[in-house]
């Protein structure tokens, strides 16, 4: 992670809560030096897609929390559903043979929303733990078939699957890899990122797709299909930069997995629950029936933490072939009744308010408006679909050369946006946009106009600092 470029203290610095946070709160993806210096922007209130900080300044949150506040914040109905469940049954042991109504109802609901024979649901506390639990299921599935040697996993550079030991090892974002951390290296294999913007020179999209599929097929040959357990794949790579794989890539990688008895896991932690206008995109956008879908985030629209592993009848039947087999995985809060009640209400709201229609309509407009930024000197690419978008900033549009890391270009632009009252996510050279699914066309105009101003101001700063010619 690069050090943020901002040099001034946060606006709400000096207040007691700001100081408490700075002194005692260690954040996800924490930079010990810059955080100690600058502290955090402390939010106080959320309504719909808007946040208000402790100084009363209002922001449009174009990140949607962290791709997760799908129905928007501050809904009374959600508060009521959560409060009712707290009073009815705040907790019951989920282990082995005890359960609760919301967990049962939600698992049935998810089985109905998921494609094909994905009828079995294991609940976790978030996306990383869903991928971890899925890995355990995969190991058990192969073991139960007498194929314990299937231990290797394929995944991609630029992927993000979370931060547990396994999930961080599966992830392929170079900037997230810390030299002091250990990663599983011997059985996890990263294939080329399906990022067409960075494809080898002179290759068209179809050629790039063939190149990626050939590479995967070669890797399978090299390791031996009999040794490969699974392929973990986000349908669009999210945190790695909203990478939309070339046409046909997702389907062809799935076909390779089918052919070679490799479990295909679709990590729909970001793409699930409407960001691309569908409950899940695997089948609806890519005509794939994965063996496993993992999801989290939009499952509760972040009102409460919850993740889920949804897996197939095929796997379930194999796991049930031995009375001595126990799936010894799970957490105290697996299938937490209050979180499951929140998810059920969230799904009801997504359906009742036809929020996916808004995603399709406003999303098309969002894409078109963002593309108007391509006339700016440092905007190299606008990619993504609908409510999952990304601005790619480059030093040279011709050569696609990035700025050097110390420029911290994404952060500079995000800081200017913040001043203008819009939160966008910096990710090295990129600015990622993943707002609440309730965003309106007026909100889009506000976000795009703010981004234009922020990018222009940043360009001016870089000229002044000598990073760009005048
Ligand atoms: C695709 C994907 N998978 C998994 C995760 C991890 O989820 P969590 O942060 O809930 O553990 C994320 C988080 O951003 C994600 O984007």
- CATH number of the domain that residue 373 is part of: 3.90.1150.10
Residue 238 belongs to a domain with what CATH number?
Answer: 3.40.640.10
Asked if residue 1 has pLDDT above 70, the reply is no
CB atoms within 10 A of CB 306: 28
198 in a structural domain? yes
Asked if residue 442 has pLDDT above 70, the reply is yes
Instruction: Find the mean pLDDT for residues 433-458.
Output: 98
Tell me if 76 sits within 8 A of 57, measured CB to CB.
no
Q: Give strand pairing partners of 307.
A: 124
With a 6 Å cutoff on the Cβ, whether 269 touches ligand 1 is: yes
Instruction: Find the mean pLDDT for residues 47-57.
Output: 96
Which among 304, 319, 352 is the end of a domain? 352
Asked if residue 457 has pLDDT above 80, the reply is yes
96 in a structural domain? yes
Please give the helix or strand (H or E) that residue 457 lies within, else none: helix 441-464
Q: Return d(Cα 40, Cα 22) in angstroms, integer.
A: 7
Q: How much distance in Å is there from the Cα of 270 to the middle of ligand 1?
A: 7
Please give the helix or strand (H or E) that residue 285 lies within, else none: helix 281-286
| Position with higher pLDDT, 9 vs 140 | 140
- pLDDT at position 38, please? 86
Q: Return d(Cα 252, Cα 235) in angstroms, integer.
A: 12
Residue 221 CA neighbour count, 13 Å, CB half? 6
DSSP percent split of the chain into helix, strand, coil, nearest 5: 45, 15, 40
Residues 388 and 256 in one domain: no
With a 6 Å cutoff on the Cβ, whether 128 touches ligand 1 is: yes
Q: Return d(Cα 413, Cα 454) in angstroms, integer.
A: 6
First to last CA, the chain: 29
Which atom, in ligand 1's list, is nearest to the CA of 271?
A: 1
Nearest to 65 by CA among 244, 303, 367, 404: 303
Residues 402 and 322 in one domain: no
284 in a structural domain? yes
- pLDDT at position 11, please? 63
Asked if residue 234 has pLDDT above 80, the reply is yes
- Write phi, then psi, for 152 (nearest 5 degrees): -85, 150
Q: How much distance in Å is there from the Cα of 127 to the middle of ligand 1?
A: 4
Residues 200 and 335 in one domain: yes
Tell me if 326 sits within 8 A of 303, measured CB to CB.
no
68-105 exposure pattern, b = at least 16 Cβ within 10 A, e = fewer: bbbbbbebeebeebbeebeeeeeeeebeeeeebebbee
- pLDDT at position 35, please? 86
Instruction: Find the mean pLDDT for residues 242-266.
Output: 98
With a 6 Å cutoff on the Cβ, whether 239 touches ligand 1 is: yes
Which among 352, 384, 416 is the end of a domain? 352
Residues 34 and 180 in one domain: no
67 in a structural domain? yes
Q: How much distance in Å is there from the Cα of 269 to the middle of ligand 1?
A: 6
Residues 365 and 348 in one domain: no
With a 6 Å cutoff on the Cβ, whether 299 touches ligand 1 is: no
The total domain count for the chain is: 2
Q: How much distance in Å is there from the Cα of 160 to the middle of ligand 1?
A: 7
Mean pLDDT of the residues in the chain? 96
Residues 372 and 305 in one domain: no
Task: Encode pLDDT of 69-112 as tens digits.
Answer: 999 999 999 999 999 999 999 999 999 999 999 999 999 999 99
Quote the pTM value: 0.96
Which among 332, 352, 372 is the end of a domain? 352
- pLDDT at position 14, please? 74
Which atom, in ligand 1's list, is nearest to the CA of 164?
A: 11
161 in a structural domain? yes
Residues 116 and 163 in one domain: yes
Task: Encode pLDDT of 117-135 as tens digits.
Answer: 999 999 999 999 999 999 9
Residues 180 and 83 in one domain: yes
3-state SS assignment for residue 23: helix
- pLDDT at position 10, please? 67
- pLDDT at position 37, please? 85
1 in a structural domain? no
- The whole domain housing 67 covers 16-71+354-464
Residues 104 and 213 in one domain: yes
Residues 151 and 22 in one domain: no
Task: Encode pLDDT of 173-191 as tens digits.
Answer: 999 999 999 999 999 999 9
Residues 220 and 144 in one domain: yes
Residues 314 and 325 in one domain: yes
- pLDDT at position 6, please? 47
6 in a structural domain? no
10 in a structural domain? no
With a 6 Å cutoff on the Cβ, whether 296 touches ligand 1 is: yes
Tell the residue number behind the tokens 């062809």, with chain if given.
Answer: 252
Task: Encode pLDDT of 427-437 as tens digits.
Answer: 999 999 999 99
pLDDT band at 3 (very low <50, low <70, confident <90, very high): very low
């Amino acid at each position: 992670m690069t050090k943020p470029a901002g040099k001034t203290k946060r606006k709400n610095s000096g207040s007691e809560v700001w100081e408490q946070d700075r002194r005692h709160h260690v954040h996800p993806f924490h930079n010990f030096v810059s955080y100690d210096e600058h502290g955090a922007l402390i939010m106080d209130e959320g309504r719909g897609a808007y946040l208000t900080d402790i100084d009363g300044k209002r922001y449009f949150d174009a990140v949607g929390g962290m791709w997760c506040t799908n129905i928007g914040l501050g809904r009374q109905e959600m508060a009521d559903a959560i409060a009712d469940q707290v009073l009815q049954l705040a907790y019951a042991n989920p282990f082995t043979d005890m359960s609760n109504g919301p967990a049962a109802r939600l698992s049935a609901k998810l089985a109905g929303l998921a494609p094909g024979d994905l009828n079995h649901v294991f609940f976790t506390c978030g996306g990383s733990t869903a991928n971890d639990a899925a890995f355990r299921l995969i190991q058990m599935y192969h073991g139960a078939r007498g194929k314990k040697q299937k231990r290797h996993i394929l995944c991609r550079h630029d992927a993000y699957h979370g931060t547990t030991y396994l999930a961080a090892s599966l992830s392929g974002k170079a900037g997230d890899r810390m030299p002091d951390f250990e990663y599983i290296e011997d059985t996890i294999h990263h294939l080329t990122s399906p990022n067409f913007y960075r494809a080898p020179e002179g290759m068209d999209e179809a050629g790039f797709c063939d190149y990626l599929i050939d590479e995967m097929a070669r890797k399978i040959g090299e390791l031996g299909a009999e040794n490969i357990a699974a392929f973990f794949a986000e349908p669009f790579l999210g945190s790695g930069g909203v990478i939309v794989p070339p046409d046909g890539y997702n389907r062809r990688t799935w076909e390779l997995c089918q052919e070679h008895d490799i479990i295909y896991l679709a990590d729909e932690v970001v793409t699930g629950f409407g960001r691309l206008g569908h409950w899940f995109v695997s089948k609806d956008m890519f005509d794939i029936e994965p063996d496993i879908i993992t999801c989290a985030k939009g499952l509760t629209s972040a009102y409460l933490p919850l993740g889920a592993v949804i897996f197939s009848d095929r796997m379930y039947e194999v796991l049930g072939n031995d009375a001595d087999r126990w799936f010894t995985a799970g957490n105290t809060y697996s299938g937490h009744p209050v979180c499951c009640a929140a998810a059920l209400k969230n799904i009801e709201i997504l359906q009742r308010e036809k929020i996916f229609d808004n995603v399709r309509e406003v999303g098309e407009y969002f894409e078109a408006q963002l593309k108007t930024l391509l006339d700016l000197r440092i905007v190299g690419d606008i990619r993504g679909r609908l409510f999952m978008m990304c601005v790619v900033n480059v030093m040279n549009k011709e050569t696609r050369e990035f700025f050097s890391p110390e420029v911290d270009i994404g952060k500079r632009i995000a800081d200017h946006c913040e001043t203008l009252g819009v939160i966008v996510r910096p990710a090295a050279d990129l600015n990622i946009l993943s707002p609440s699914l309730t965003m309106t066309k007026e909100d889009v105009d506000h976000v795009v106009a703010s981004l234009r101003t922020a990018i222009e101001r940043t360009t001016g700063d870089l000229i002044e600092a000598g990073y760009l010619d005048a």
